[in-house]
Structure 1
Amino acid sequence: MKVYLYFALILVIFSCQSQETKIPVGPDKSPGSWMYNQRAYPNGIDKEVKALAELQYRRMTDVKNGTFNEKWQQVGPVNVGGRITDIALHPTDKNIIIAGSSVGGIWRSVDKGFNWELVFDEPGGLSIGNLTIANSEPNTIYAGTGEANGSATSGAFFGNGIYKSTDGGDSWVNVGLENSDHIGRAIVHPENSDIVYVAAAGKLYGKNEERGIFKSEDGGATWDRKLFVSDSTAAIDVSMSPMAPDVLFASTWERTRFPQGRVYGGKSSGLYRSIDAGENWELMTNGVPSNADSLGRIGVYVSPSDPQVVYSVYSKDPITNRFLGIFKSIDQGNSWTEISNGELESAFSGFGWFFGNVRVNPADPDDAFVVGFLNYNFNGDFWDSWQGGYHVDQHAYEFHPLDSEFRVFGNDGGIYITEDGGENIRHVETIPNNQFYECKIHPISDSTYFGGAQDNGTLVTQNLGIDGYERVTGGDGFVIQFDQVNTSILYTESQFGAINRVDDVSFSATGIRPDEAGSERRNWNTPFVTIPDQEGGIIYGAERVYYSSDFGDSWTAISDDLTDGEFGSMSTLDVSKVDQNIMIAGTDDGNVHITTDLGLNWTEISEDLPEVSVSSVVTDPLEESTVYVTFSGYRFNDYLPHVFRSVDYGATWTDISSNLPEIPVNEIVIDPVLPNTYYLATDLGVFSTEDAGNSWEVMGEDLPSVIVNDLDLHLERRELLAATFGYSMFTYPLPSQPLSTNDTQVNYFSISPNPVSDLLNINTEENIKIVKLEVININGQSLLNSNVGKSIDVSSLSVGNYLLRIVTERGIEIEKFVKI
């Protein structure tokens, strides 16, 4: 019996992306919380363990002895942007733009945003909170790591302090505040690039002291905390005018998130002013809200051209942070006047903790923008929202100081640029920074890749390259499956298990979620799989496992609740390719069950496994009694293995984590072609083993140290697709057989005839003993095998493409053939 102190139910709140009308009972599993809960259950995230794992990863990238040393290839998308958290513009050169991504590092353009290069992808610092360029020395850039918005991936993907570049972004060094976790804003003195102010938000899930307004006068070598309210109050914004750099305004935000909800407001939220370069601060009360239990996130901005003019935007309600008002001061904060005019009630929708920024035109102190759900412009008399032509959920908006018509803004759909004050807006379509949960290679069509993306639905490119992606279905995109007999039937999914049956040509979709599952606890990323050799066969996991034999038109529950109750839900499922009666299920509260009779009886097989979130369960493609399980999470005290194998249906388990860094493992793929070869998707890229888990290596080159949530193996094309959470998708070319030490494939066999209708002959001039012949379909299922002779009868096979696996005393060789 497990104890649920960690997931005690207090309040269920979900982020803006959730589109379902019925909210499941249980802990908050909106994007950020789901990502955090998966990794933190049951003891939280130990930052020291995470840092040690990142160090081990760096060492492993320098030593590679195995087969997999090819380069990963980016396959996009680039035309569907991912979340941008901040923008910085070079003060004298409009060509140079620096952009920070939610979990995708720092990107730089030197041609006004037409082309971009990744300039920062430091492990532990991939989540970017803020960027600032020193006006007095434009090659000096400060980057605050850890997105400070209250949702998305903030809690799971915190940063490790402030990084500094003195060469325009070519190289970076960490200059402190390593325990700040999330950075709301950093600003640099206009005349001295060594004087920096930082609004440090601190931990999101928990309390800590390293938060507040910090100041460095030596370029980050040392830091002094100048404003501190409490260990649960973030400093979220700080601003100055270049015309009066000793006058500072800063905002604080009382906010703490829990696995089961959040408190995003309180009396310690407030607006402060310093008139002596940060030495002393006073709380603003004259005309702006203060000392109220309902005060949420606050944004502030001082006019660059008139330091007397200051704007501050307020939110209310400690849960939703709805728009409260925008206030203007024309006397440097001595008095304030609300200028909302009742026109911005919907500016933050129901999630103001996601925005909360205000900006001012450097050429006109009366031209202000509220950066919220959309961009809202004040022309001195009334507010107007920019409509159409850009994605919602704004996070960054910057004017160029020399040309206020040149503006760059960033949101959940990427980067947008206007050179005429908004008359024409250009979307940047050259940055691959999407956050993917799942991926799939089309079983038949070449160069056709599917991905389930955060806030961008299920996307596909149909042989159109990295800039040719289009949306298949909406919401947040998750599991993607094809019927394993009729590949014209595609299944997609949005949050909380809203599964769709989709026509592969027209993309017309029909919702098919089991009716009974609608009242059950469902995972943010609800698992389902199609059944090998069974047209229309699907299983789906909520609290119970559901089975459909008719493409999802009807469903039958084939298990009891396989969780521990209260808060758990199914997190992963698989069906054996060898025997479809064998199914395995894993839950986010640490349970694993197996059935060998199509769900009539289920046996718990997790008694001796770690009690952390189960990230994937997989049946072996060739051996029916062999199963694998992987785990998310971080260890608390003792060693936490993340990968296990059983050869007896889960009765006993073997830890095969060996030399892996102690990081969450998100997926395991077993290669039926290469013996003892497995691939792992982890929070630090992809790892591979060629000895059944006795040793692991970082797989391939040119894949950033990014979270990889999912992998998909296409057997016939020998291609591995990786879904990253921050850098879109990559593919890796796999060998068709084990490589020799000089990485050169040697083929000893040929086959004939090919195409073939009945008897397939194996030809060789070498004196090599054939141990076994095995025919495998493109799903990895073994269909035929023979231990005798140099031919095999394939007449019983259906028309299609197959692989012949030739097992010899020297190794294994794979040959492709076509059955006619």
Structure 2
Amino acid sequence: EPFIFSLNEIYTIAGTIGKSLDGGENFKRVTNMVGGDNHDMWIDPLIPDRMVVGNDQYVSISTNRGESWHGVSLPIAQMYHVYVDNQIPYYVYGNRQDGPSFRGPSNSLFGKRGIPSGLWHSVGGSECGFAIPDPVDNNIIWSGNFEGLDRFDLRTGHSRAVDVWPIDNYGSAASTAKYRWQWTFPIAISPHDHNKIYVGSQYVHQTTNGGESWEIISPDLTTNDKSKQQLTGGITQDDTQPTYCCVLFAIAESPVEQGLIWTGSNDGLVHVTRDGGSNWTNVTRNFPDLPPWGTVSNLEPSRYEAGTCYITIDFHQVNIRDPHVYKTTDYGKNWTSISSDIPKSELSYAHCVREDPVRKGLLYLGTENALYVSFNDGKNWIPLQNNLPHAPVHWLTIQEHFNDLVIGTYGRGFWILDDITP
């Protein structure tokens, strides 16, 4: 971008800002920029000392031609998932795109003045994936990142890498990886044993000793289609794993039946085991008229009946944008669509379905632009939007002691619907 009053003054916008005063012959890095991964720049045509840069963290503003910058945060956090602990007030956890794993209180002593930003802090991990507190010992948080898995201890502030495999696969095709880890690979804590943690590559990995060691408890639960595992990008090989195919995207164990584990992949497969991983059954063909190549975005085993499970499958990457939400009552032998009356649009594909912990048949559903509720087990849905901004509802969780519905949106941060007691 040539400077408005000098064709020799040029700025380049990338991970950092470059500045040239000689028409591009030489560039110097603007080292005092607030934030990084810059995307756009504006120079005031009337007062050219005023500059604005949009980057991953801030709207960065300078009034002195870039000598100093001020970063302004906007309420547009892109949260992948959301989890809560059992404290009073309870804390909310999640990994934010272009930020760290975050933890912050659901309430504060400041009342209507809100929750100060200083009460939020990192809990290990990075911008992608999950941050899940141990349900028994809330001081321990399991957090994903684009290099593996971290186990964070609030008592010491120490984050320890507990990766299944120590070698990342950046810049390489998924077909060359020993384990194919997606950018937001699934992490799940067993509802029967808080020391048992599951993570997913193309396999289900399990630890029972805090990540000191891992064992594989499944075969490859994906299509393993090598044609979908090649390099992406052109001159630059853009393989930091968001584009990895043939990987697990969801893992969930039944809260009713120990060892009943469901998995879903981002190439459209659904598997189930009833013996802790010794034997797995592919139940994908049991879905009625299911298109291929969907991403299983969420699995919700019922807390009322062991054989019941709800699932959302996202097809927008193959340009199918209708909501796909299903239910089984017989361990996946048969599936029924429960999303027929959700209004269809370009943004109606579903991300997450959640079952109410108190009332059977009460369901909550997040789509790409709305939140819905069903009082009759998915036969009918009505909007539950209220003052929630229309944004992608990527994840839902329920804080059972307070009966709060906690919402993670990809674009407007965290929201809480207080006391959903039926």
TM-score, length-scaled by structure 2: 0.83
1:509 aligns with 2:159: yes
Instruction: Give the partner amino acid of 1:631.
Output: I
Matches of 1:406 and 1:480, distance apart in 2: 39
Equivalent residue number for residue 779 of structure 1: none
Q: How does 1:103-502 map to 2 (within 5 A)?
A: 358-360=1-3, 362-380=4-22, 382-429=26-73, 431-446=74-89, 448-462=91-105, 465=115, 467-468=117-118, 469-495=120-146, 498-502=148-152
How far did residue 542 of structure 1 move?
1.1
Instruction: Give the partner amino acid of 1:470.
Output: H
How far did residue 555 of structure 1 move?
1.2
1:585 aligns with 2:229: no
Tell me: CA distance 1:618–1:517, structure 2 relative to 1, closer, same or farther (3 Å): farther
How far did residue 570 of structure 1 move?
0.6
Preserved contact between residue 482 and residue 530 of structure 1 (Cα < 8 Å): no
Instruction: Give the partner amino acid of 1:704.
Output: P
More deviation, 399-408/544-553 = 399-408
Long gaps (5+) in structure 2:
109-114, 169-177, 230-245
Preserved contact between residue 304 and residue 360 of structure 2 (Cα < 8 Å): no
Matches of 2:130 and 2:320, distance apart in 1: 33
1:596 aligns with 2:274: yes
Preserved contact between residue 658 and residue 696 of structure 1 (Cα < 8 Å): no
Tell me: CA distance 1:405–1:436, structure 2 relative to 1, closer, same or farther (3 Å): same
How far did residue 479 of structure 1 move?
1.1
How far did residue 471 of structure 1 move?
2.8
Equivalent residue number for residue 649 of structure 1: 331
Matches of 2:321 and 2:77, distance apart in 1: 33
Preserved contact between residue 432 and residue 728 of structure 1 (Cα < 8 Å): yes
Aligned to 2:49, what secondary structure does the other structure show?
strand
1:558 aligns with 2:217: yes
Equivalent residue number for residue 686 of structure 1: 371
Matches of 1:494 and 1:646, distance apart in 2: 32
Preserved contact between residue 301 and residue 310 of structure 2 (Cα < 8 Å): yes
Matches of 1:474 and 1:655, distance apart in 2: 36
Preserved contact between residue 298 and residue 313 of structure 2 (Cα < 8 Å): yes
Preserved contact between residue 437 and residue 723 of structure 1 (Cα < 8 Å): yes
Matches of 1:384 and 1:637, distance apart in 2: 43
- Give CA-to-partner distance per residue, 1:237-264, whole Å, 9 cap, x none: xxxxxxxxxxxxxxxxxxxxxxxxxxxx
1:540 aligns with 2:218: no
Q: How does 1:25-40 map to 2 (within 5 A)?
A: none
Tell me: CA distance 1:735–1:640, structure 2 relative to 1, closer, same or farther (3 Å): closer
Aligned to 2:48, what secondary structure does the other structure show?
strand
1:672 aligns with 2:357: yes
Tell me: CA distance 1:493–1:687, structure 2 relative to 1, closer, same or farther (3 Å): same
Equivalent residue number for residue 80 of structure 1: none
Matches of 2:333 and 2:383, distance apart in 1: 31
| Count of residue pairs brought into register by the alignment | 377
Equivalent residue number for residue 172 of structure 2: none
Matches of 1:584 and 1:517, distance apart in 2: 27
Equivalent residue number for residue 713 of structure 1: 398
Preserved contact between residue 2 and residue 8 of structure 2 (Cα < 8 Å): no
- Give CA-to-partner distance per residue, 1:489-529, whole Å, 9 cap, x none: 11000136x11111134432111122399722222211120
Tell me: CA distance 1:375–1:516, structure 2 relative to 1, closer, same or farther (3 Å): closer
Aligned to 1:716, what secondary structure does the other structure show?
coil
Aligned to 1:449, what secondary structure does the other structure show?
strand
1:527 aligns with 2:209: no
How far did residue 558 of structure 1 move?
1.0
Mark the structure with the bigger radius of gyration.
Answer: 1
Aligned to 2:8, what secondary structure does the other structure show?
coil
Aligned to 2:285, what secondary structure does the other structure show?
coil
Matches of 1:414 and 1:455, distance apart in 2: 10
Preserved contact between residue 488 and residue 504 of structure 1 (Cα < 8 Å): yes
Instruction: Give the partner amino acid of 1:587.
Output: S
Matches of 2:41 and 2:407, distance apart in 1: 32
1:658 aligns with 2:337: no
Higher relative contact order (CA 8 A, sep 6+): 1
Preserved contact between residue 352 and residue 367 of structure 2 (Cα < 8 Å): yes
Matches of 1:535 and 1:527, distance apart in 2: 16
Matches of 2:144 and 2:70, distance apart in 1: 30
